Chains A and B, each alone.
Chain A
Amino acid sequence: MAEPNSQTQTTAMIGIGEYRVGTFPMMTIGLGSCIGLTLYDPLKKTGAMVHIMLPDSGGRTERPGKYADTAIPLLLKELDALGCSKRSLVAKIAGGACMFEYFGTNLNIGERNTDKVRIGLKEQGIKLSSEDVGGKVGRTVTFLPGSGGKVSVRRADGVTTEL
């Protein structure tokens, strides 16, 4: 799963709990309460993307990309292996919505995911440069490390914004 591969320039699709690291285009579709996190090193033009589903791993070691608490250290380790310095990394996040008000109110996983990712980035001293989170809306995110780390967010109605 999710081996870094800098050879291909086709867009890497990142499923729930998956991550990729490299210079190629990356995309994750249909974020609801999940978070799409991108980390980008402008010096190396290299980045990482992960589709986080839940705030806490509760000690689970399988699928580290699935949880906010394990995903961030994982991406940092992978980026470090490619020579990216933690100090130059820029983070952007999208997602963390509450798609169903009726069910979501007591759990609000979207909000907990967002909080946990923000805290995790802060603990690592990584700058969160922009975000598009919350609300009751699905988001599809594309990340282009080769084009200055551009992150675009598309909503169901087709409206696309850049982070």
Chain B
Amino acid sequence: MKLSAVQADAIQELGNIGAAHAATTLSQMLSSTVSMSVPAIKAVDLAELGNHIGDESAAMVVFELQGEIQHGGYIIFYITRESAIRLTNTMLGMTDTDRDFNEMDQSALLEVGNIMVSAFLDATAELLGFIMLPSPPALSIDMAHAAMESLIAQLGEEVDEVLLFSTELICEEHKIDSDIIMLPEVSTLKRITDLLEEMMKAT
């Protein structure tokens, strides 16, 4: 599905609102300032996915979009391996960065992802009047491309191009760099853009 300039702007604004709420929760959890980028929407051909998401090691907390839709696609809390260690260290009061992930780290990451993605989806639901709920989370700490291509392979609607919609959240004090990435099914994206266009007409 091709987005018009107006649709892309509207989606960007939606991402802005969602990510701002997610950034606030992250800021509270870290007791530190978190800044966010302008949300970016990229139409990526599958063959080119590797140019956007490489085989670097990263933690991805993944939720299926559910609620008013059954299988709406995925929303992902993405954080590089180094940032993930610094994040859990900050939360758990540890300092050793040269270590493996343990169970504590994994539950901390799942929890952070859960809180941030819930905040993101709460905010977008309020704006759209369309409820998307996160499924229970799944965690992968491995090559980012491997995790992402596996999600794309199991989308219900087969695609040759994906719309990656991501916002970067950065905490400079603790050198934590993370992203919230949405990978919606085409039908979900259509539903969202339709709702946004109705809202714009109404105002």
Contact = CB atoms under 8 A, between A and B. Distances in A.
Interface of A: 1, 13, 15-18, 29-34, 53-54, 62-63, 66, 97-104, 107, 109-110, 136-140, 156-157
Contacts of A66: 46, 160
Interface residues of B, number: 33
B7 to A, nearest CB: 25
B145 interface: yes
Nearest to A101: B138
A102 B136 contact: yes
Nearest to B160: A63
Nearest to A62: B160
A88 B68 CA distance: 55
Contacts of A1: 47
Given A100-B62, A109-B154, A31 B46 contact: no
B91 interface: no
Nearest to B74: A103
Contacts of A18: 47
B160 A32 contact: no
B50 A100 contact: no
Interface in B62-109: 62, 64
A103 B154 contact: yes
Contact of B149 (A13, A32, A136, A157): A32
24 contacts: A15-B48, A16-B46, A16-B152, A29-B143, A30-B143, A30-B149, A32-B147, A32-B150, A33-B149, A33-B153, A54-B158, A99-B140, A99-B142, A100-B140, A100-B147, A100-B150, A102-B137, A107-B154, A110-B150, A137-B146, A138-B142, A138-B147, A140-B55, A157-B57
B3 interface: no
Interface string B146-166: 111111111000101000000
